[in-house]
Amino acid sequence: MERKEQTYLDSIFEKYLKARRIFKNKEVLRHSYTPKELPHRREQIETLAHILVPVLRGETPSNVFVYGKTGTGKTVTVKFVTEELKKISQRYGIPVDVIYLNCEIVDTQYRVLANIVNYFKHESGFEVPLVGWPTDEVYKKLKDVIDARERFVIIVLDEIDKLIKKSGDDILYSLTRINTELNNAKVSVIGISNDLKFKEYLDPRVLSSLSEEEVVFPPYDANQLRDILMQRAREAFYPDVLDDAVVPLCAALAAREHGDARRALDLLRVSGEIAEREGASKVTEKHVWKAQEKIEQDTMEEVIKTLPLHSKILLYSIVLLDENGDLPANTGDVYAVYKELCDYMDVEPLTQRRISDLINELDMLGIINAKVVSKGRYGRTKEIRLNVTPYKVKNIYRFDYSLQPLLPVNIAIQRRLF
């Protein structure tokens, strides 16, 4: 039996190996790839370069905040400019270290400090554990390690708004004042944020210590996205495997998503993957539409997985109402079920007003539809419907430990709720 299965697997791999290859270098379409040129970002590149050029004169550059929606080229531009700065600084004999941290992952003050210290571990021979030390001890070690010799250290905090919202702004205060405590090294911070109102979360003492400059990245339009995709496609695909309509369609679909270049690149990459899987000799519009559907499904799943606990309980309330044939429902109906589920899980329920806010958030995320309708002399009310299937939500919840108590609800207590 095992021999037959092995032969079957061998034949599958052989089949795909012999099929016509679509991709020459798929990595070019990844978000992490930094191209040699960045179309339609010359103004932002020049502004960042102007802010950082004091490094080449031995002076400390200003701190920088980079703003823009997802997929507007913020991260790739910062990486592009800082990599070029490192190359030129080597020519001038000026030591520059660029430390890039994704604050969606490195999301506490301790982790930020520890990661900076550990960046220099091969030089210092020392490594801070990712948990366990007092934060002030880690900060002291950071100063010692950085100040071991003359150098410029540029710390890039990507998605900095997520770090500040979760852990407060003490880390930013420390990093923006650290130069007053150093003798040899000079430090500057580049913060990258999707939230244009990010600075509203900062304490006045932090704002006064920043001395920052700002660079704003506007969304791309469809023509600009097409140029970006054409540039990447030349490196990513073999000649003549893309139908002429593929790149314009990917660009047009991504332009509808506030000019998101990441979405455009994902569409083009997934279109190629689907074509390759099907054994097609060319990527066509049909593959783009399939890719669009797949990405939307994957995105929705990720959004639901990362919802806060009360939003997940709220969503499950709407799922139960849907399964019982009681949608559309109003906020009061949903809140009644939500309270029952909180009681079942031994969780303190939020107020109805707060739940109304969470309903609006689920609506904005596209998980539900919450439309205000007029009931004539009875006034206006919100009609709530699901935009995903109950099965999809339940399937996601199956793998979420915190929601395990909810899974038998449709069998055990749904009758009591209704």
Q: What is the DSSP string of 212-239?
A: EEEEE-PPP-HHHHHHHHHHHHHHHB-T
CB 46 within 8 A of CB 233: no
Do 210 and 183 belong to one domain? yes
**For residues 2-30, average pLDDT:** 72
CB 347 within 8 A of CB 313: yes
**For residues 52-77, average pLDDT:** 94
Q: Report the distance separating Cα 212 and Cα 21, nearest Å.
A: 48
Is 143 known as a binding-site position? no
Give the model's pLDDT for residue 411.
Answer: 41
Torsion angle of the four alpha carbons 194, 195, 201, 207, in this order, in degrees rounded to the nearest 10:
70
Query: Residue 24 CA to chain centroid, in angstroms?
Result: 27
Is 73 known as a binding-site position? yes
Do 250 and 315 belong to one domain? no
Q: Report the distance separating Cα 86 and Cα 261, nearest Å.
A: 26
Q: Which two tokens stand for residue 173?
A: 């205060």
Is 232 known as a binding-site position? yes
The residue among 216, 239, 274 that closes a domain is 216
| Closest to 265 in 3D by CA, of 231, 309, 298, 289 | 231
Is 299 known as a binding-site position? no
CB 37 within 8 A of CB 226: no
Angle, CA of 238, 243 and 245, to the nearest 5°: 135
Q: Which two tokens stand for residue 12?
A: 């599958």
Domain CATH number, residue 342: 1.10.10.10
- Asked if the model's pLDDT at residue 282 lies above 90, the reply is yes
Domain CATH number, residue 233: 1.10.8.60
Torsion angle of the four alpha carbons 326, 330, 335, 340, in this order, in degrees rounded to the nearest 10:
-20
Residue 68 belongs to some domain of the structure: yes
Total domains present in the chain:
3
Q: Report the distance separating Cα 370 and Cα 142, nearest Å.
A: 49
Q: Report the distance separating Cα 9 and Cα 16, nearest Å.
A: 11
Instruction: Report in angstroms the alpha-carbon separations of 343 from 178, 295, 307, 349.
Output: 49, 36, 20, 8
Residue 30 belongs to some domain of the structure: no
Do 317 and 299 belong to one domain? no
Is 72 known as a binding-site position? yes
Residue 79 belongs to some domain of the structure: yes
pLDDT tens for 353-393 read 999 999 999 998 889 988 877 666 656 778 899 988 888 88
Do 54 and 165 belong to one domain? yes
User: Cα Rg for the chain, rounded, in angstroms?
Assistant: 26
**For residues 288-295, average pLDDT:** 92
Q: Which two tokens stand for residue 373?
A: 């309708």
pLDDT tens for 95-125 read 999 999 999 889 899 999 999 999 999 888 8
Q: Report the distance separating Cα 171 and Cα 259, nearest Å.
A: 32
**For residues 217-229, average pLDDT:** 96
Helices (H), 147-221: 160-167, 170-177, 204-210
Do 56 and 127 belong to one domain? yes
- 186 DSSP β-pair partners: 152
**Residue with the larger pLDDT of the pair 40 and 296:** 40
Is 74 known as a binding-site position? yes
Do 52 and 200 belong to one domain? yes
Do 328 and 395 belong to one domain? yes
